[in-house]
Structure 1
Amino acid sequence: MFSGMRTGMICAAMIGAQLLISGCDYARMRNDEAVDRYEMEFPSMPQDILPQSGEEYPLITDPEKTKNPLAENRVVLASGRRAYEYYCKHCHGESGEGKGTVGQSFAPLPTDLRSSYVQEQGDGQIFERIGKGYRRHPPMAYTLSSREQWAVVAYIRSMKKRE
């Protein structure tokens, strides 16, 4: 007798709880306080918060024949070396041999930049592979300016001479 009564009370409590919960309609936003359209001005964005270089990526129609527009001098090589050491040496190694600390985990190893395979390519080909990426190599056009990419090309060319 008590078990039937107990079951009835549990059912009544559950039905009551269900009715109470169903009366709560907080999921709808129509009753919430809201800002009407055009009620307030959108905060203006501070100037110079986003970088805007305005530089366009150069279109290279014949990469094999395209020459580096930068003259190979100490300033260009220093700029290329700085960019290479910051972005490239971790995979390609200090001297470009393809045995950098990060590159050791890749199979196959990164390309030896001193090799004839790389050194015999046109400046435009190397530039495009730096900028657009190639196989496992990430595209660097969003990271390096065109001038920095050409400086890296000049620095890669100088690796063969230093070997």
Structure 2
Amino acid sequence: MWIAKNREELVAQSQGPEARGVWFMKERRMGKGERGLGVVFCVGFAFLAGGLLGCDYARMKDQESVRTYETKLPSMPSGTVPIEGGVLWISSVDPKEIPNPLKPEPQNLQRGKEAFKNFCSMCHGLRGDGRGTVGQSFHPLPTDLRSQWVQALSDGELFKIISLGSRRSPPLAHTISEEDRWAIVLHLRALVGT
């Protein structure tokens, strides 16, 4: 038998002068039967491993998360999702042609003053002179909103700058409501002479 024969070979090899510690390093060749048995073993192991990994457990299609959108959405009342307005219209229209929808009435001027104080005064200062607490650290200083250059701009141009930003001035269209931006334009007009 193979084991007995192998054992005899090991004993015979261990008797020689080079015997100790070297016999196990010698190459041993497999016979055809042993090779075939090894191949059968490897193929069988692969099928067994594949069968275990492919077990019918925790299938993705049986989870609730796969069918999350199968329930119907509730009906939404008209006007829930805006389909007009937004910010894009500002960039597609000549700003000189955009009229201010607000009149310079006391309540609109007060609303503009409050919005300016909350969103603009940190950089431009309460008087609009460009010397706000944060603005003093800028070089150059923020624009003096009372200057001739700013006051020569149309209401639509000021509204566009407030909405979409300019240079270091951030876009505020998503921060300030459209009505408050128009009210700020009215307040900028009232800053002259302060």
TM-score range for the pair, normalised by the shorter chain length: 0.5 to 0.7
Unmatched segments (≥5 aa) in structure 1: 1-29
Among 141, 144, 157, which residue is 1:112 paired with?
A: 144
Deviations 1:28-66 (A, max 9, x none): xx9668625338988x99x9xxx9677613546232343
In the alignment, does 2:38 pair up with 1:38? no
**TM-score, normalised via structure 1 length:** 0.67
Task: Measure the CA separation in 1 of the matches of 2:101 and 2:145.
Answer: 20
Match of 1:151 in 2: 183
The structure in which a higher percent of residues are helix is: 2
% identity of equivalent residues: 38
CA distance in 2, matches of 1:126, 1:119: 9
Alignment pair present for 1:82 and 2:114: yes
- Structure 2, unaligned runs of 5 or more: 1-55
How many positions carry a matched residue from both structures? 133
> How many angstroms apart in 1 are the aligned matches of 2:121 and 2:82?
26
> What code does the residue aligned with 1:160 have?
V
TM-score by length of 2: 0.57
Q: Which has the higher contact order (CA 8 A, sep 6+)?
A: 1
CA distance in 1, matches of 2:152, 2:125: 20
Larger radius of gyration: 2
**Off by >2 Å, runs of 4+ in structure 1:** 30-42, 51-55, 57-62, 64-67
> What amino acid sits opposite 1:38 in the alignment?
R
* Letter aligned with residue 102 of structure 1: V
